[in-house]
Amino acid sequence: QSALTQPRSVSGSPGQSVTISCTGTSSDVGGYNYVSWYQQHPGKAPKLMIYDVSKRPSGVPDRFSGSKSGNTASLTISGLQAEDEADYYCCSYAGSYHRFGGGTKLTVL
Amino acid sequence: QVQLQESGPGLVKPSETLSLTCAVSGYSISSGYYWGWIRQPPGKGLEWIGSIYHSGSTYYNPSLKSRVTISVDTSKNQFSLKLSSVTAADTAVYYCARLIRGYYDILTGSYEDAYYFDYWGQGTLVTVSS
């Protein structure tokens, strides 16, 4: 089973918005509303940012939002801040299996 | 506050078995929830290895299933990973995490399915080398 497809990198200036895509199949992203997103700073453990496609855990800024259309999920970060620079991973439930994306490096210019 | 801490050898020889333990504090494993292992090779992405319920029920990544065993010890409030016949490709940072597979929605008054990892350990690097 291959990883979900994410762009290797995205970038944006402070205050701008960026969107990271996560493409799978009807067996994972398209088949379940159980996509989650994780932020990982260098040398740190991943941190949950979005679950169930678009729900935010308490403590996560509302600048982070998630959505899904067909087999592609998206994470949008609005009002970019320097501390948002990190790697981002999507993850989808796939029926007794959890598939992660390959990761996207977000650079804040 | 739920905390997870991985422990185990940082160096394992090829063909041997990798063994790690995840100690949980701030929550009793026997109270519920699933728990899981995820790994990340240096410079690469995350890969789910497998998960276990407090009762001992498990499910594994099909690509690793033949080599993986995850067990739970509720008396010590910890769960463990064993990965057999390791090669250099198994060199990675190994994370343990709590897996949410559903929750009670106070707003709707109903149980909602969900699948996400909410608490993670700091990770431990395991290198496979002779």
Determine contact: B111 vs chain A, CB below 8 A.
Answer: no
**Whole-number pLDDT of residue B113:** 87
Contact A27, A94 (CB under 8 A): yes
β-bridge pairing B47-53 and B103-105: unpaired
Q: Is A58 on the interface with B (CB under 8 A)?
A: no
- In tens, the pLDDT along A21-74 reads 999 999 999 999 999 999 999 999 999 999 999 999 999 999 999 999 999 999
Distances (CA, A) of A83 to A34, A42, A105, B97: 26, 12, 13, 24
Instruction: Say whether B61 and A97 touch across the interface (CB within 8 A).
Output: yes
Given a cut of 80, whether residue B86 has pLDDT beyond it is: yes
Taking the C-alpha atoms of residue B113 and residue B47, their distance in angstroms, rounded to an integer, is 22
Distance CA A27, CA A94 (A): 6
Handedness of CA B36, B40, B45, B49 (dihedral sign): negative
Test the B interface: residue of A20, A54, A75, A98 with most B CBs within 10 Å:
A98
The pLDDT tens digits of the residues spanning B38-56 come to 999 999 999 999 999 999 9
Among A1, A46, A98, beta carbon nearest to B120: A46
CB pair distance less than 8 Å for A98 and B115: yes
Least confident interval from A2-6, B18-22, B53-57, B111-115: B111-115
Whether the per-residue pLDDT at A88 is higher than 90: the answer is yes
pLDDT at A96: 86
Confidence of residue A1 (pLDDT cuts 50, 70, 90): low
Tell me the C-alpha distance between A30 and A70, whole Å: 5
Cβ atoms A48, A59 nearer than 8 A: no
Express each pLDDT in B101-123 by its tens digit. Answer: 988 888 889 988 889 999 999 99
Average pLDDT for chain B: 95
Residue range B23-29: mean pLDDT, rounded: 96
Q: How far is A13 from chain B (nearest CA, A)?
A: 25
Task: Using the predicted structure, report yes or no on whether residue B64 has a pLDDT greater than 70.
Answer: yes
User: What pLDDT score was predicted for residue B102?
Assistant: 86
